[in-house]
Structure 1
Amino acid sequence: MSKVSVLVVDDASFIRDLVKNCLRNYFPGIRIEDAVNGRKALALLSREAFDLVLCDWEMPEMSGLELLSWCREQDHLKTLPFIMVTSRGDKENVIQAIQAGVSDFVSKPFTNEQLLSKVKKAFTKAGLLDAVMASAPTRLNSAFGNDSLNALTGGKAQVVTPAAAPAPAPRPAQALTSRGQGQLRLPSGTQTCVIKALSLKEALLVVRRGEVLPQVLDSAVLDLEQGESAEVARLNGYLHAIVAYEPKPDSAWLQLTFRFVDQDAEKMNYLSRLIAHGTTQKHFVPGA
């Protein structure tokens, strides 16, 4: 059995479970510990040895970047493989993490295949791949599912189709009214969304139906922009429910319930201001 150990750090329990289940499906003998923020992770790293860290960036008490900087200041952790699992993909953030000594990035939302690719790359560089692959299963279908539901259930759950639940009354596309617009990043791609309602727990979104339908429990990132300062919040979450926006099987629009999983106080404060303001004011600019 492999003695290779991994530390998963994220303030969202849904993301931690997603990562742990993906790794355990592919590497059954691997040892995995988790922490809810950088400070808890620091305590674990101070008393236990790990072969790889998979860490979120934005967390309460201590961020992933702060944890990374601390690791590189410790003699025994200077070369520890450290992969940032984050929705921060801006050039300036990437440069900042590289300067701090990050080993690699996994962008949220991610597929199981994308995550495993980066983990295997890190193990290869560290000379650990043979050890962890010795316990890998011969069939890898469940580990390579493109949706978060497969990672959590081993591919045994049924997919809920958009037409399976009651839908609101139809409206023509040009009649859609909203509190604002944003950008929804899913494992299958990125698309503009209309924000129909917003609370501290979830957002009700409307998106145009594409060739690939989103799946219940897909992990996702909702990018919101507000005001003249173009302040952007990257909110991590998952799709809790999907229905057709029009009561017909060929509905051109889908209504998504997006549940937030972040526990970061700064993001919650941003959401509170956004809700109080009542609108995002202007169209989200992709890549801003």
Structure 2
Amino acid sequence: MSKISVLVVDDAPFIRDLMKKALRTLFPGIRVEEAVNGRKAQQLLGRDAFDLILCDWEMPEMSGLELLTWCRAEAATKTTPFIMVTSRGDKENVIQAIQAGVSDYIGKPFSNEQLAAKVRKALARAGKLDALQAADTRPAMTGMTNDSLNALTGGKAEVVRRAPAAVPAATAAPAASAAPAAKAAAPAGRGQGQLRLASGTLECVIKAISLKEALLIIKRTDTLPQVLEAAVLDLEQGEADIARLNGYLHAIAALEPKPDSEWLQVTFRFVDRDPQKLDYLSRLIARGTGQRHYVPGA
């Protein structure tokens, strides 16, 4: 039985790492290669054959849409399954990708189960589903995060110990959540936004923001977010203007020093390397989050 080979294309090292580890855990024996942008992916595709391409949309040097267009014009990759992995969920973007010949589409953030379903579907259409080795022999993971902890932290024990220390107050049973005091208004901050996780979307208040990360305040729910969980931060700058920033949850703590704290403080670490988004963050910091801006999501 031949080994399935997948090419993961994304300019964010964190996202590439999560996807590689998720694929290797979900499908033991699969071969996964990576590229930092469309140009590097072109070079790999020119000298090696792949059964599936998982590609981000917005990347420096060559975007995912440009790579898709190139692939469909080349004889060797004309029919290769191509899944666009992106936070661009607008109708016009989906139509644009379909017209360019995309095989499927998966929005960020997503769970391992969603990723596995898309991969199986794409390979089934290509007649290569049987080549997946031991597809269901390991328990499915609930997210694309904690299995990558050692790789992301370089195996440093002190970093591994720190994650549980930030969560106890947030994980205690919400016994007092029904009390009248729990209905207090959200803490004040610099602006409003939405934190999109694989499990759903949470309204958030931006307490502070820098080029590296944003400090967010979210209301506690029954389903708690997890440290190292991939996410997308949507900053709503107007009725039609939304800035989409990719990243992961670096730290989570109770906002108040009590076990039934209604509010959580989340450190959202950015992973976007696109110069356009870095420029946007610079302007956002300088002007404040109440201004109207637009940055295409990736």
Q: TM-score range by the shorter chain?
A: 0.7 to 0.9
- Of the three residues 213, 222, 236, the one matched with 2:233 is 222
Shift of 1:149: 2.8
Q: Is the 8 A contact 1:147 1:217 kept in 2?
A: no
**AA paired with 1:145?**
M
Shift of 1:132: 1.2
1:60 and 2:70 correspond = no
Structure 2's unaligned 5+ residue stretches are 151-159, 171-180, 293-298
Structure 1's unaligned 5+ residue stretches are 283-288
Question: C-alpha distance in 2, partners of 1:120/1:99?
Answer: 22
Q: Is the 8 A contact 1:163 1:248 kept in 2?
A: no
Q: Which residue does the alignment assign to 2:145?
A: 149
Question: C-alpha distance in 2, partners of 1:270/1:137?
Answer: 42
**AA paired with 2:11?**
D
Shift of 1:26: 2.1
Q: Is the 8 A contact 2:252 2:265 kept in 1?
A: yes
- Of the three residues 210, 217, 220, the one matched with 2:221 is 210
**AA paired with 1:214?**
P
Pairing of 1:142-181 with structure 2 (within 5 A): 144-153=140-149, 160=164, 162-163=167-168, 173-174=184-185, 176-181=187-192
Question: C-alpha distance in 2, partners of 1:14/1:37?
Answer: 14
TM-score normalised per structure 1: 0.88
The 1:25/1:188 distance shift into structure 2, 3 A limit, reads same
Shift of 1:164: 5.3
Q: Is the 8 A contact 2:146 2:229 kept in 1?
A: no
Q: Is the 8 A contact 1:68 1:100 kept in 2?
A: yes
Shift of 1:71: 0.6
Identity of aligned residues (%): 67
Question: C-alpha distance in 1, partners of 2:239/2:192?
Answer: 16
- Of the three residues 255, 273, 279, the one matched with 1:269 is 279
Secondary structure at the counterpart of residue 14 of structure 1? helix
**AA paired with 1:195?**
I
Q: Which residue does the alignment assign to 2:296?
A: none
Shift of 1:279: 2.2
Q: Which residue does the alignment assign to 1:234?
A: 244
Secondary structure at the counterpart of residue 75 of structure 1? coil
Question: C-alpha distance in 1, partners of 2:257/2:71?
Answer: 54
Question: C-alpha distance in 1, partners of 2:83/2:110?
Answer: 13
Question: C-alpha distance in 2, partners of 1:20/1:62?
Answer: 21
Pairing of 1:1-288 with structure 2 (within 5 A): 2-133=2-133, 135-136=134-135, 138=137, 140-141=138-139, 144-153=140-149, 160=164, 162-163=167-168, 173-174=184-185, 176-226=187-237, 230-281=240-291
**AA paired with 2:141?**
G
Shift of 1:232: 2.1
The 1:175/1:79 distance shift into structure 2, 3 A limit, reads closer
* Partner deviation per Cα, 1:242-265 (whole Å, 9 max, x = no partner): 000111111111100000001011
Cα RMSD for the two superposed structures: 2.4
Question: C-alpha distance in 2, partners of 1:200/1:270?
Answer: 9
Q: Is the 8 A contact 1:194 1:207 kept in 2?
A: yes
Shift of 1:8: 0.2
Q: Is the 8 A contact 1:180 1:281 kept in 2?
A: no
Secondary structure at the counterpart of residue 203 of structure 2? strand
* Partner deviation per Cα, 1:28-81 (whole Å, 9 max, x = no partner): 211111000111001111111111000000111111011001111112211110
The answer to which of 272-281 and 16-25 deviates more is 272-281
Shift of 1:280: 2.8
Q: Is the 8 A contact 2:22 2:144 kept in 1?
A: no
Secondary structure at the counterpart of residue 142 of structure 2? coil
Question: C-alpha distance in 1, partners of 2:2/2:169?
Answer: 44
